[in-house]
Structure 1
């Protein structure tokens, strides 16, 4: 789990890693879910879901490194 202001609106957004997520009939192994903070409110479903290839453990490590283009 990591917090970061991804869209520069002043609110911390939530990033959740799920490295053991998989889909039986898909070649998916691991996921990262992004929940955008909308004025202090998080929606019950992620704003963005990213998945990795099978057995990749995608989402195992997350870190907030700040604004990398500053």
Structure 2
């Protein structure tokens, strides 16, 4: 099965975009389009939520 990659909504026009895909069994795959090695990070949904939470805190330190 070929994964469906979704481009980040924060991606501007250009070559450097984060792409996310889901796959069995309950995994999330993350890649960056400008990476010449096409490396893919595979994680769990709970770890991905934690990553997004930290990134949002970093963007707005008043959020907890």
Q: Return the structure number with greater relative CO, CA threshold 8 A, min gap 6.
A: 1
- Is TM more than 0.5 here? no
Which structure's residues are more often helix, by fraction? 2
What TM-score, normalized by structure 2, do the two folds share?
Answer: 0.36
What is the TM-score normalised by the length of structure 1? 0.34
Q: Which protein is richer in strand relative to its size?
A: 1
